[in-house]
Every structure is written in structure tokens, then in C-alpha cells.
Amino acid sequence: MSYQILRQKQMEYIYSRRFLKKSLAYLIAYHLEEPKLKKRKNLEREKYNNKINK
């Protein structure tokens, strides 16, 4: 293998690792934040409905 091919493989490996770490962190954050977001949306919807019903 030539130096360029090795370098390319190395970069691909590094980028894929970095991408995996980022996507894992994103998934975990989303998993933790999603219930809070849903709760907030429900509260906003209730406030809105209360305004309409009054």
C-alpha cells in the first residue's frame, strides 16, 4: 500500500470514530431531553386550551 492510501484509511477511521461518538452523545442527550420537551409541549398546549375555553 502506498502512503496516500494508508493516510486516507487512517482519516476515514478517525472520522468514523468521531462521528460515532458525536451521534452517541446526541442520542443520549435526546433520550434524556425528550420527556422534558414533551412535558413542556403539553403544558403549553394546556395553557393555550385554557385561554380558548375561558
Cell of 48: 393555550
Going 44 to 45 to 46 to 50, the CA torsion angle's sign is positive
Residue given cell 412535558 in the structure block: 39
- 26 pLDDT band, cuts 50/70/90, is confident
Domain count across the chain: 1
DSSP string, 35-51: HHHHHHHHHHHHHHHHH
| Residue 31 lies in domain | 1-53
Please write the tens of the pLDDT for every residue from 32-51.
Answer: 887 777 888 888 888 888 88
Does this model's pTM top 0.75? My answer is: no
d(CA 31, CA 38) in angstroms, rounded, equals 12
